[in-house]
Amino acid sequence: MKTLVILGASGDLTGRLLLPGVGRLIASGRAPGLALVGAGSDDWTPARWQKRLTESFAESLGAGEQSSGIQELASVQKNSRYQQLDVTAKGELGAFLGTVEGPVAVYFALPPAISQKACEVLKKSELPAGTRLVMEKPFGSSSASAHELNETLAKLVAEDHIHRVDHFLGKSTVLNIIGLRFANRLLEPLWNGEHITKVEIIFDEDLALENRARYYDHAGAGRDMIQSHLLQIMAIVAMEPPATLGEMDVRSSIAAVLRASTVGRTGDTDPGASSRRARYTKGTLKGKHVPGYLSEEGVDPANDTETLAEVEVYVNNWRWAGVPFILRSGKALGRNRKEAVITYKPVPHLPLGFTGTDSPTRLHIGFGPETLTLDLDVNGPGDLFTLDRVQLETELGSDPLLPYGEVLEGVLNGDPLLSVRGDTAEDCWRIVEPAFAAWKSGAVPMQDYAAGTSGPAGWSTSND
């Protein structure tokens, strides 16, 4: 790939996550010969754009090394340009891309509705040869809008040239789960509903709103995390063994899981019974006072936005029949917890005579840092008839790139392995839409939890 074009280059996402990822990728020497072009609706001068690049690249450029990658990054910044652009104006984006040296990766760091409109006015003939389109989540706002966007994109480039970015699907996360499952004969025979009682995928943040009301108050925890990131992780945890690590095999295995998935058991007439939502009230977080969500600047109470959400998804196939996959994400919680937890069923019979607590075997797969923890019951120390809990811990392999750098490397190398395929993007919406409809109708009451706590006391996941 020759040029990375970022649309929405003056936005928060670009400065906070995307450009630092680009900087680390180039500085590592893994994106040679790349040019960077920014475009946005704001009227920025060249100096203002250079200031943004300096701020975003500061960590990479300040590494104290004079490697070829760092020199390359300095060169990319020096030669980068910014152009004010209305991407929804007919012919404007196409004309702009005509001034860019191809092949091009066009990154839509824009709200879904703007991305949709921009692609509608774009013509296939206006794209440089080999163009790749990179779409930021959320991909659409419903299964219908995601399908509409898929059809629009298909008129411009082939599916394998469309990269739907889920930065949670970094190379380390995906390959660590696949490696753990399919390289260990000890685990895979027990990786099913015969032995596993539940799977929890948790993304609890010890951060509050952090000035993101403009986006978050219209998304909430359900749309921000569960609909996209957590369903994708669930699919990797639950998928059948792929023949290879090629994108077709892996992404087809992911798609098969999502096609079989529903919120609640098959035939449930009340999807709201398998979902919960809550919102933080004032409290103390990391020693600082946090106002209640409804008192945060930019929040509209009429949006009825949840800051903690949980759904029970069932994968309706032979391997996982009856096993709940509990997906939970929230903000302003007392503990930063990002992990998948696999809980095994109790042993059929524990010999009489043992004392102590017979706790379930649990496997924890941590995300950022990448860790693996196995909870076991063992004898002693001291009284050998007493069972005690131990944890076996290790670190898993990780990439020094930031998550956006990992995903962008796949884009620039033309590998869609870490991108979300079109059909799965639609299925993710299809799975959660019944729960979201139940929330909107008020069938699922909004609960409260104080900032800095573990969530509503009645939720089992709040008491782990």
pLDDT tens readout for residues 331-372: 999 999 999 999 999 888 877 877 777 788 999 999 878 899
Query: Residue 373's pLDDT band (boundaries 50, 70, 90)?
Result: very high
- Known binder of ligand: residue 282? no
C-alpha to C-alpha distance for 220 and 306, rounded to whole angstroms: 5
- Known binder of ligand: residue 41? yes
C-alpha to C-alpha distance for 196 and 200, rounded to whole angstroms: 11
- Known binder of ligand: residue 86? yes
DSSP 92-113: HHHHHHTTSPSSEEEEE-S-HH
What percent of the chain clears pLDDT 90, i.e. is strictly above it?
Answer: 68
- Known binder of ligand: residue 87? yes
pLDDT confidence of residue 203:
96
- Mean pLDDT over 107-131 rounds to 91
Distances in whole angstroms, Cα of residue 278 to Cα of each of 221, 227, 427: 9, 17, 25
pLDDT confidence of residue 63:
56
Q: Are 204 and 337 in contact (CB under 8 A)?
A: yes
What is the side-by-side order of every strand in the sheet holding 419-420?
81-84, 35-40, 3-7, 104-108, 132-136, 162-165, 419-420
What residue ranges define each of the domains in the chain, with the CATH number in brackets? 3-165 (3.40.50.720), 171-399+421-463 (3.30.360.10)
pLDDT confidence of residue 66:
53
C-alpha to C-alpha distance for 115 and 148, rounded to whole angstroms: 12
pLDDT confidence of residue 1:
57
C-alpha to C-alpha distance for 451 and 191, rounded to whole angstroms: 36
- Known binder of ligand: residue 331? yes
Q: Which of 21-25, 93-97, 134-138, 211-215 has the lowest mean pLDDT?
A: 211-215
- Asked if residue 450 has pLDDT above 90, the reply is yes
Strands (E) in 345-395, as ranges, are: 355-356, 362-366, 371-379, 386-395
- Asked if residue 415 has pLDDT above 80, the reply is yes
- Mean pLDDT over 253-260 rounds to 97
Query: Residue 403's pLDDT band (boundaries 50, 70, 90)?
Result: confident
pTM of the model: 0.91
Most confident of 157-161, 183-187, 286-290, 310-314: 310-314
- Known binder of ligand: residue 167? yes
C-alpha to C-alpha distance for 334 and 464, rounded to whole angstroms: 13
- Known binder of ligand: residue 171? yes
- Asked if residue 317 has pLDDT above 60, the reply is yes
C-alpha to C-alpha distance for 333 and 308, rounded to whole angstroms: 9
Query: Residue 90's pLDDT band (boundaries 50, 70, 90)?
Result: very high
- Known binder of ligand: residue 151? no
Task: Select the more confidently predicted residue: 223 or 69.
Answer: 223
Q: What is the largest CA-CA distance in the chain?
A: 79
- Asked if residue 171 has pLDDT above 80, the reply is no
- Mean pLDDT over 269-297 rounds to 91
Q: Is 195 a catalytic residue?
A: no
- Mean pLDDT over 96-109 rounds to 92
- Known binder of ligand: residue 349? no
Residues 6+ apart with CB under 8 A from 72: 26, 27, 29, 31, 32
Look-up: residue for tokens 């020096």?
78
- Mean pLDDT over 32-50 rounds to 94
Mean pLDDT of the chain: 91
- Asked if residue 154 has pLDDT above 90, the reply is yes
- Mean pLDDT over 248-275 rounds to 89
Catalytic residue among 195, 229, 289, 349: 229
Query: Residue 307's pLDDT band (boundaries 50, 70, 90)?
Result: very high
pLDDT confidence of residue 244:
95
